[in-house]
Structure 1
Amino acid sequence: MTTVGPGRPRKQQAVRPGATARDEILDAAAELFTGQGFANTSTRAIADAVGIRQSSLYHHFSTKDEILGDLLGGTVSTSLAFARAVHGESGEGRQELAPAARLHAVVLFDGSQLCSSRWNLGVLYHLPEARAEVFQPFMAARTELRTIYGELGQELTAVCDSGAGLGDTAFRLVESLINLRADGLISADSASTTADTVMILAGLKRELPAVRAASSELISRFGDVPDLIAG
């Protein structure tokens, strides 16, 4: 029998991805919350899915809400760190393409996170429980991300013939990928198609190749963001 720490025996060998028991708990909870709902999932069910005792789960998380808070935060933290970095990047080249590339990169990166994560955790955004005060750190991070979208949209509107509210439209289009994924309609290019659509709405269809190239450069430069999150 393996163990997860002193006095915390595991029922079986680890069967879930994750470097730690905490990671495995989050993975199991993500599967159960997205598959059968938050309210219908007990901490005992999560512990069973990991192969640990329920008491061992409480060594890592004191409540089910705490688990949900970690999962919700994880859906935003990486995209927010990337958006912060890109938002402060002045870029080079044609004046209108710098803000276009920034918005395209944020849409593409954020959309890719939502499309490629192991579980479709975005479906948890609309849980009534997610509006509780305990989840305010997640809500604040999501609001900041939406604000950056809005500011990037305003920058682009200022230099090209695009309508007001472009940033908020982009944010809504990205989050629509959550529902498309839930319906089984996500493809390998869904995120890139969404980013291109935002540029077309901005009136930059002819400039798309140049925007994509500049966007790709930003993602190459800032796409590895663990250090940004930690900082």
Structure 2
Amino acid sequence: MTARTSRRVGRPRAQGRHAGDLEPRDEVLGSAAELFTVHGYTATSTRAVAERAGLRQASLYHYFDGKEAILAALLEGTVRPSLEVARELMSRTQASAEARLWALCLSDVELLCGGPHNLGALYLLPEVQTERFAAFHHVRAELKGVYGQLLAATEPGTPLDTAGLTMRTDLIFGLTESVILIRRAAPDRDARTLAAATADAALRVAGVPQRSLARFGREGRSLLAAGV
């Protein structure tokens, strides 16, 4: 979720670690991901996160200035990988917009469902609506914008006006993120099957006929297999 950082001198751990373990910052993020999703964000203290990560509480503040900063990093980590895929797909102009939209939905769902913890459920926290999380909302809005651009480039039977494009973009983006709730209700649901079904449904919302879904799905998988 985050790049490895160099270990800093002068911030000893509360307990020893074996060589090859995660760096302290990543330990904090992993521990917070587990505690926030299992016990709840409000119920989890920075002390609990530090103890779970094997750090002194004071050492945690060397990497994050508080619990909100940890949550912000976790949330941005759920979106930035999808945005990187989205930008790459936008550059593949030789491929159809339908195939690229399908590939983006598939990749996005697999990323949302791929980690050990359902971090997307944290989107629903009231705290996330505050200015402290502006960077997360900016990245998420940029990702949604790519969905809209790909949707606008598809060839539905009737061209969409601005209001229609906005509505369908909202529907497709919301459909993709709805897997967060599905995963919460059915954590054992197969992510790949769910991702493919969501991508198919997104194209149907875009106006793609049922008979064309398999073709665009094959094209979309080929794009992702090619290293998008």
Give the TM bin, normalised by the shorter chain.
0.7 to 0.9
In structure 2, distance between residues paired with 1:131 and 1:144: 17
Task: Call closer, same or farther: CA 1:150–1:19 in 2, change over 3 Å.
Answer: same
- 1:116 corresponds in structure 2 to 114
Greater Cα shift, 115-124 or 183-192: 183-192
Greater Cα shift, 6-15 or 28-37: 6-15
- Count of aligned pairs: 213
Task: Call closer, same or farther: CA 1:121–1:196 in 2, change over 3 Å.
Answer: same
Q: Which runs of 4+ in 1 moved over 4 A?
A: none
1:135 to 133, 147, 167: 133
- 1:61 corresponds in structure 2 to 64
Structure 2 counterparts to residues 144-159 of structure 1, below 5 A: 144-156=142-154, 159=155
Q: Post-superposition shift, 1:128?
A: 1.2
- 2:202 corresponds in structure 1 to 198
- 1:22 corresponds in structure 2 to 25
Structure 2 counterparts to residues 1-231 of structure 1, below 5 A: 5-13=9-17, 19-92=22-95, 98-156=96-154, 159-161=155-157, 164=164, 165-184=167-186, 186-188=189-191, 189-201=193-205, 202-223=207-228
Cα displacement string for residues 8-61 of structure 1 (whole angstroms, at most 9, x for unaligned residues): 13324369x963111011000011111122111101000111122111111111
TM-score (norm 1): 0.84
In structure 2, distance between residues paired with 1:18 and 1:125: 29
In structure 2, distance between residues paired with 1:32 and 1:205: 42
In structure 2, distance between residues paired with 1:191 and 1:211: 14
Q: What amino acid is aligned across from residue 199 of structure 2 in structure 1?
A: A
Q: Which runs of 5+ in 2 are unaligned?
A: 1-6
Q: What amino acid is aligned across from residue 113 of structure 1 in structure 2?
A: L
Cα displacement string for residues 64-122 of structure 1 (whole angstroms, at most 9, x for unaligned residues): 11111100100100001111121232124xxxxx0110110110000110111221111
In structure 2, distance between residues paired with 1:171 and 1:200: 13
In structure 2, distance between residues paired with 1:60 and 1:206: 52
User: Is the CA contact 1:115–1:178 (under 8 Å) kept in the aligned structure 2?
Assistant: yes
- After superposition, the CA RMSD in angstroms is 2.2
Q: What amino acid is aligned across from residue 184 of structure 1 in structure 2?
A: A
User: Is the CA contact 1:115–1:181 (under 8 Å) kept in the aligned structure 2?
Assistant: yes
Q: Post-superposition shift, 1:131?
A: 1.3
In structure 2, distance between residues paired with 1:214 and 1:197: 16
Greater Cα shift, 19-28 or 182-191: 182-191
User: Is the CA contact 1:29–1:67 (under 8 Å) kept in the aligned structure 2?
Assistant: yes
In structure 2, distance between residues paired with 1:26 and 1:5: 19
User: Is the CA contact 1:25–1:57 (under 8 Å) kept in the aligned structure 2?
Assistant: yes
TM-score (norm 2): 0.85
Greater Cα shift, 98-107 or 50-59: 50-59
In structure 1, distance between residues paired with 2:13 and 2:51: 13
Greater Cα shift, 213-222 or 121-130: 213-222
User: Is the CA contact 1:149–1:168 (under 8 Å) kept in the aligned structure 2?
Assistant: no
Q: Post-superposition shift, 1:7?
A: 4.7
Q: Which runs of 5+ in 1 are unaligned?
A: 93-97, 224-231
